[in-house]
Structure formats: C-alpha cells, structure tokens
Amino acid sequence: AWAAWRGLVVPLRVPMDDDEMALLAENRFRQLGDRLVSVLQYSRGAARCEEGVSEAMIRATAERANRIAAPLDFRAIVERRGLWQSVRIALASAMLMAGLSVWQYRLVRPWFLRTFALAEVDYPQDTYLSVRSGPDFHVVRGSDLRVVVEASGQAPAEITVHFPGTGQSQQVRRADGGTRYELVFQSVAEPFEFYVTGGDDAQDRRRPHRVTVIDPPELEAVEFVVVFPRHMNRAEPQPVPSGSGLIPAPIGSTVQVWGRANKALRSAEILLDGKPLHHMRVVPAGKAKEEQSLRGLTGEFEIAGANAAATRTLEFSLVDAAGIANPRAGRYVVQVQPDREPAVEAQKRGVGAAIAPEAIVPLAIHVKDDCGIALLEVLLFKNDGREPFHRERVPDTPAGRRDVQTLCRVDLKDRGLAPGDSVSIQLRAVDNLPASLGGPNEALSGRVILRVVKSTDLMEDLVRRQQELRLEFLQTIGIEESARAKTAEAAKILELGSVVPDVRRKLKDSAIVQGTVGSQCAKTADTLEGILEEMRNNRLGSPRDHAQMAEGILTPLRNLGEPMDKTVAALNGTAAVEDPAALRQQAQAIERQQQALRERMERIAESMEKLESRQALANELEWVIRTSEELLKLIEKQSDQDIEGVFEGGGTTSRPARP
C-alpha cells in the first residue's frame, strides 16, 4: 500500500504546467536547448502586448523548435521502468498481505476491522470469560445471588471479581478444577456493579454487570385462628396473637390464616417445614374501596401426623403481580400439642386395708383429660393376678367431660372372694381421641390393694378400736374436769373481793384446757364416724347398732362443739372484766357450764360402752354361728365321702388289718 501510494498516487497528484512540461522535454532531449520554453514565454508576452517583443523572432524561434522536435518521440519522456517497478512492488505487497491474512487470520481480521472499519473488535486471547445468565441481574432483597462464570480456552486457577463502586475486589477459585467459577453474593441488600477478569481476558471491565435489588412481597399483617377438633368438645375457636411468632395448636386442629401483603399478589402458598402444603386464595384488601387490590390472602391447614409433641416451621411463599417470588415470606413456629393420656386418680374411702368378703369399697375418682373421657372402667384383680377377673363400667359418667370427679361404690358381693385372698382395684380411663389421630389414649390408676379377712375378725378389730377410742374419751372427760376445777378455783379466790394475778392465770389455763377438750371431742367424733362408715361398707353390725352409733353417740358428740366454743370464748372474755363481783359471777356461770358439759360427755361414754358390749356379744354369737355352720359343712362333706366309699367298695367298709 505504501509503495502504490508513493510510486503511483503521489506522482500523479503532482500539478504540472506548460513551462514545466517544456523543461521536462528539454531535459530529456538536450538538442532542443531552451527553445520550447522560450517560445512559450515569448508567446505569452505578445499576447499581453508587452513592449520590446518581436513577433518575427518568436516565429523564427518557433519554426526552428518545430523542425528539431518533429522527429523526436516525446513518449520517451515518461519513465515506464519506474512505473512498472512500482506496480511490481505494489503487487508483491498485496500478495504478501494476502498470505499474511490467510496465515494470521485471527490477528489480521480484527486489525483490518479496527483500522479500516473502525469496528470495536477484540484481538484474539488465550482466555475468554463468560458470565452466564447476564449481563445484568435482578435479586430479591435479602436473598443470595449466585452467578456462574464459564471459562473457555485456558482456564486460570482463579479469577478476580471487581466492584467499581467501592474499588474492592476478591478472588474466586475454580470449582473442582474445571472451567466454572461460582460467585455467591450473600444477603444482597443494595444494588451494585461488578466485572470479572482472569488470565489475559479483561474485556468485562468495558461493561460491568449491574445487580438490581427488588423488594419482595412481604406480609404486613397476619392473623391465626385455631379451630379445635370435634372430639375436644370446644366450640369456640381460639385466636392466636401473631406477635409472639408461636402458634400452639392441638393435634387434629385446623389453623385458619388471614394475611395482608405489601403489594398485589399473583399467588400464595403455605409451607410447613419447607414443604408446600396448600395454595391460598388471593383476595382484595385495602382500607378504602378504591384502594383495594389483590393484597389479601386466606387459607387453612390441618395439624395432622403422629400424636406427639413437635415443633414445625410455618412459612408462606408469595409471588407478586410482576412475578417476583419470595419463597420465605414470614416465619412462624407451630407448637403441636399432643393429646396426652388421661390423668387418673383412685383412692379408697370408708374402708381400711382389711375388708370383709362382701364389702363395698367406695372409690374417690378424679380423672382429667385434654379432650374428654369416653369410658371409665373398674378392674378387679385377685391375688396379684395379671388379668382382671371382673370389670364394670363406672355408672353416671357423662361422656366427653374433660374433668370427672365422682365417688364409685365397688360392690364385692358375689365376686367369689374368701378370707385369705387379696383383691386389687384399678381404674381404667379411655379418652375420645379418634383412631385417625392415633387414639384413643388410655390410662390406668394405681392399684388399691385390699386384704380379705373374716367378717368376725374384722368386727372384732372394729370393736377393739371403739374400746380404745372410749378409753381416750374418758381421758378427755378427765381433762374437762380439770378445766372445770381451774374455773372453780378462780371463782373461790374471787370471793376475797380482789382480782389477783392467780385468778387471771387460772382462767387462762382453763380456756386453754377447754379448747383442747373441744378438739379432742371433734377428733373422737371423726374417728367414730370412720368406724361407722367402715362397718356399713363391710356390711358388719345391725342397722340398730348403726343407728345407735349415729344418733346416740355421734350426734351428741357433734353437738358438743358449739357449747364448748362458747365456753372458750367466755373464758377468754373474762380477761376484760375488772370488777371482782362481776368476774366471780361469770366464773361461776362458766363453771356450771363446764359441769354440764362433763355430764353430757359421761352419758356419751356410757352409750359407747353399752354399744361395745352389745357389738362384742353379737360378734361372738356370729362367730359361734359361723363356726357351727362350717363344722356342719365339714361333717356333711365327710359323710358324703364315706358313703361314696361304701358304694365303690362293693357294699362293705374296709377295716384296717390287725397286726
């Protein structure tokens, strides 16, 4: 190109007038001398009518020049050798350029395009980096952005990520020695730009990649309502405050959800433990009707699965109208409350550790359950047996109640119990949890173990306890007498006409002793009432004895409580009396009241002694009768065996052989 320019183009572009052409011809043909240029100059002067110019001389000079130039070949003036040399150089240069272009096409092509077409073309490189899914990226605020860079050609061991906005950079190594590099921008909160370089590739810096942050759809408000299952017998749903982030829900319940998002939604879905559960319905929501948009969402889900305590994670996946998804919008904890087995308590009442064979055992029952009781059952075990020999349903138990307190009377009559046996009573409770939820639950109370003894032995023990109680009551009568004596001594001292300290002390001591007597009488009544209840439950004693104990002893004992309390109050009230005469009158009145109380107590003790004697006699008669019956049964049994032996021995009885 340079040779063509210098040898062809440049010479042709040089301007040349007549004088220069004449000089060029005279320089080539020396015999012309300077005649050609002279003729040209003379002719221009004559044309301008200059003075001193001879036309004859001009003609003579021109004729002579024509004669000399006529035989000359003016084509020789052109130097063809230089022209052809220039052409050959140009062709050689063109051929060299063509060969170079074919040989180094990857280099020549971008050079040509950059030089002549002024195109933005890159020169060949050993490494080419390509940012996948680019050039720009959109990420939900707070989410991670993963960018993959692919290397072709020579893959460097690491590439550099540049952040032009901050001037910082970081290195990222190849993944598993391949050609891929993974960039992870964690929790992107603000927009930024980046570009990558590596090896000899720096082209990415020309146009950095822009990362745009998009606000995801979020929940502005959410409400939860727990609808209890039917078997729990709780009609009213329970709203749950969402501020705590904790949703307690019993197994089998349904959780209703209502929420409002910060922007219009396309779809919404409930996630439980990260797994899609149910699609939600998108509904209009807004304060004013004209401002309403599809920002509301409503749905529900059921607490299913095993009947066990569990903690589950509730989330919502939201997609707004523009298609921007937030797969983890809101996070709440669902605390699954299992249906626990019933809590069962059973305690005996009105009997001791030993009972008669035909006793009635009152059981104080208390059962609590989360949902409700479907069945209460009494189980009887004999002699520590594993399986119950009898079971019966507790009567008058309303089904479905969550808290049951009742008294069940277990009748052991006709249950085949005999003295020497032991019987265990256990309560079985079954709740109404459906089988679909792993139910029903059942629970057993602790066993109430009782020892079966003869009725006469038990009655003898009860009579003995009454005797011991009567002896204690006699001691209480003596204490009452000591209280009366202290009051009488105080009244005697007051006859002297002055209130001395000894009077106050004796009245105070009398009040203390009188209070002790009242407590002992109440304790005696409680103990005797327990004995009476035990007699009735074991079917011991006659109805007459029961009535005598209740009306002739217990009622009078209970009636002692009020007058004794009044006596104690009167004794305490004497501390405020300063007049000796008035105090003496009060002391004498109190002493008479205490005397009356002692007499009433003595009458009660007499009734107790009479009842004991009658019961002891009746029990001895009962023992004689039962012993006679048992002996008669034994004789009849032996007779039957002897008769069977006679018939089996051929009508003769065997006798022992004589030695």
Q: Residues with Cβ < 8 Å from 206, sequence gap 6 or more?
A: none
- Cβ proximity of 517 and 479 under 8 Å: yes
Q: How many Å apart are CA 531 and CA 522, to the nearest integer?
A: 14
- Alpha carbon separation from 550 to 465, 528, 541, 611 (Å, rounded): 16, 9, 13, 11
Q: How many Å apart are CA 407 and CA 347, to the nearest integer?
A: 10
pLDDT score at 657: 42
pLDDT score at 107: 67
% of the chain residues with pLDDT over 70: 83
Domain ranges in the chain with CATH number 1.20.58 = 457-639
Q: How many Å apart are CA 523 and CA 530, to the nearest integer?
A: 11
- Cβ proximity of 308 and 338 under 8 Å: yes
* C-alpha 327, offset from chain centre: 20
Q: What is the pLDDT confidence band of residue 619, given thresholds at 50, 70 and 90?
A: low
pLDDT score at 428: 94
Residue type at position 297: L
User: Mean per-residue pLDDT for 85-100?
Assistant: 74
pLDDT score at 520: 94
Which is higher by pLDDT, 353 or 1?
353
pLDDT score at 460: 87
Q: DSSP assignment, residue 434? A: -
DSSP 243-299: GG-EEEEETT-EEEEEEEESS-EEEEEEEETTEEEEEEEEEEE-SSGGG-EEEEEEE
Q: How many Å apart are CA 428 and CA 391, to the nearest integer?
A: 10
| Residue appearing with tokens 């009742």 | 406
DSSP 121-148: -PPP-SEEEEETT-S-EEEETTS-EEEE
- Cβ proximity of 349 and 407 under 8 Å: yes
pLDDT score at 631: 66
Domain ranges in the chain with CATH number 2.60.40.2060 = 343-453
Residue 553's closest CA among 593, 525, 514? Answer: 525
Q: How many Å apart are CA 198 and CA 147, to the nearest integer?
A: 16
Res 216 pLDDT > 80: yes
Residue 261's closest CA among 229, 297, 235? Answer: 297
Res 621 pLDDT > 70: no
Q: How many Å apart are CA 348 and CA 408, to the nearest integer?
A: 10
Q: Looking at the domain 127-214, which fold is it?
A: Immunoglobulin-like (2.60.40)
Res 658 pLDDT > 60: no
Q: Which CATH number fits domain 219-337: 1.10.357.10, 2.60.40.10, 3.40.190.10, 3.40.50.720?
A: 2.60.40.10
pLDDT score at 447: 93
User: Mean per-residue pLDDT for 269-278?
Assistant: 89
User: Mean per-residue pLDDT for 184-201?
Assistant: 90
Residue type at position 575: A
Q: Which CATH number fits domain 343-453: 3.40.50.2000, 3.40.50.20, 2.60.40.2060, 1.10.3720.10?
A: 2.60.40.2060
Residue 169's closest CA among 139, 208, 134? Answer: 208
| Residue appearing with tokens 């059952």 | 377
- Cβ proximity of 350 and 342 under 8 Å: no
Tens of pLDDT, residue by residue over 355-373, are 999 999 999 999 999 888 9
Q: How many Å apart are CA 373 and CA 397, to the nearest integer?
A: 9
| Residue appearing with tokens 């003579």 | 60
Tens of pLDDT, residue by residue over 418-472, are 999 999 999 999 998 888 888 889 999 999 999 999 988 898 899 889 899 989 9
Res 236 pLDDT > 50: yes
Res 243 pLDDT > 80: no
Helix, strand or coil, per DSSP, at residue 109:
helix
Tens of pLDDT, residue by residue over 37-57, are 777 777 766 555 555 556 777
pLDDT score at 652: 47
Which is higher by pLDDT, 612 or 238?
238
| Omega before 239 within 30 of 0, i.e. cis | no
Helix, strand or coil, per DSSP, at residue 330:
strand
pLDDT score at 78: 63
Res 388 pLDDT > 80: yes
% of the chain residues with pLDDT over 90: 38
Residue 453's closest CA among 426, 423, 425, 411? Answer: 423
Q: How many Å apart are CA 522 and CA 558, to the nearest integer?
A: 7
β pairing state of 343-348 and 354-355: unpaired
Domain ranges in the chain with CATH number 2.60.40.10 = 127-214, 219-337
pLDDT score at 648: 58
Question: What pTM, to 2 d.p., does this model score?
Answer: 0.60
Burial class (CB in 10 A: 0-12, 13-18, 19+), 389: middle
What tokens were used for 70? 């006529």
Q: What is the pLDDT confidence band of residue 659, given thresholds at 50, 70 and 90?
A: very low
CATH of domain 457-639: 1.20.58
